[in-house]
Amino acid sequence: MPERESGASGSEGTGGGSRPDRTEAAHRPERLEGERVVLRSFARDDLPHVIRWMDDPELRKEIGAVEPLTEARAEEWFAKVEIDPTRLWYAIVLEGDGRVVGEAGLLRIFEPWRTTDMTVIIGEPDARGRGYGTEAGELLLELAFERLGMHRVAVGVVGFHESAIRFWQKLGFREEGRQRDGYLVDGEFHDFVMMCVLEDEYRCARTRRLQQK
């Protein structure tokens, strides 16, 4: 899905020791498997799902999208994603029936600084609040920190979307700043919340989640 352009299973223990070499860091896995969801490489056949999701005005407000997504713009976006080495994009697919319920990805991957941005969107209304987004987020963070050797992962969240802020906090993200009145929707300005998680914070949050299971 065209994203806002302003700041928005591997082995354990790589953060304090040697990081993966460039060959491993450049690897673009086509499939990440969780217990209930699978992240598989985003395909052109997935575009109709995204176009339909973007017809929902409430979803657009929550993610900072300003207009519906046309088929032409979707095709243009997909063509860029396919060849962009700074993005890894996935469809969120239910393990049981193969239903596509959302999309997730890493974007603006910058290896010299070991940093990337991230997004998780559950597009199907009846799939929200079921933990699918959390599992997809965990898979992406594991990819970023354990396999790609990232040190920092960042997201941007619309300030009034409190459930999204709680979602990212659950994954270990912390607020690090705000773009005051950085988002205008329905004639009203709202803050844009900048959040990030560092590799040691990710491991602490992951350990807590595992202990709670």
Give the domain CATH number at 182. 3.40.630.30
Tokens 């086509």 correspond to what residue? 30
Q: Is 1 part of any domain? A: no
Q: Is 203 part of any domain? A: yes
Q: What is the mean pLDDT of residues 66-89?
A: 95
Q: Is 115 exposed, middle or buried (0-12, 13-18, 19+ CB in 10 A)?
A: middle
Residue 96 is predicted with a pLDDT of: 87
Residue 191 is predicted with a pLDDT of: 96
Q: Is 19 part of any domain? A: no
Mean of per-residue pLDDT scores for the chain: 88
Q: Is 8 part of any domain? A: no
Q: Structural domain of residue 52, as residue ranges?
A: 27-212
Residue 27 is predicted with a pLDDT of: 64
Tokens 């997004």 correspond to what residue? 119
Alpha-carbon distances, residue 140 vs 52, 157, 169, 189 (angstroms): 24, 17, 15, 31
Number of domains in the chain: 1
Q: Which one, of 158, 157, 141, lies nearest residue 149 by Cα?
A: 141
Q: Is 11 part of any domain? A: no
Q: Is 162 part of any domain? A: yes
pLDDT band at 205 (very low <50, low <70, confident <90, very high): confident
Q: Is 15 part of any domain? A: no
Give yes or no for residue 143 having a pLDDT over 80: yes
Give yes or no for residue 58 having a pLDDT over 80: yes
Q: Which one, of 128, 47, 51, lies nearest residue 89 by Cα?
A: 47
Q: Is 6 part of any domain? A: no
Residue 53 is predicted with a pLDDT of: 97
